[in-house]
Structure 1
Amino acid sequence: MKHICEIYPKTPSVCNCLNIRRASRAVTQLYDQELKSSGLTIAQLGLLRHPG
C-alpha cells in the first residue's frame, strides 16, 4: 500500500477547514486506489454495504 503522501502530496495550510477537506480527499483517493481492481469506488462500496 502506498503512503498517503504519495497519493495526495499537499503541504499543510494554516486553515484547519482546508486541511480537513484535503485529508478527506486523500483518504478517498487512497481507498479508491485500493479498490481499483474491483471496479468499485469507495462511494459505491458504501452504498452496497448500506443495510437499507
Structure 2
Amino acid sequence: DRIAIPSLEKSEGANGGHLLGDRHNEKVVAVQPRPTVALNIESKSA
C-alpha cells in the first residue's frame, strides 16, 4: 500500500502536468499561425 499510494500520486501528477502542457501547447500553436499569416499577408500586399 505504501508503494502504491505514492505511485498513484506520481501518475496523477504526471497526467495533470501533461494536460497542462497540452493546453499550453494548444495556446502556443493557436497563437503562432496568426502572426505568421499576418506576415504572409503583409509580404503579399507589399
TM-score normalised by length of structure 2: 0.48
Which structure has the larger Rg? Answer: 2
Identify, as 1 or 2, the structure richer in helix. Answer: 2
TM-score for the superposition, normalised by structure 1? 0.43
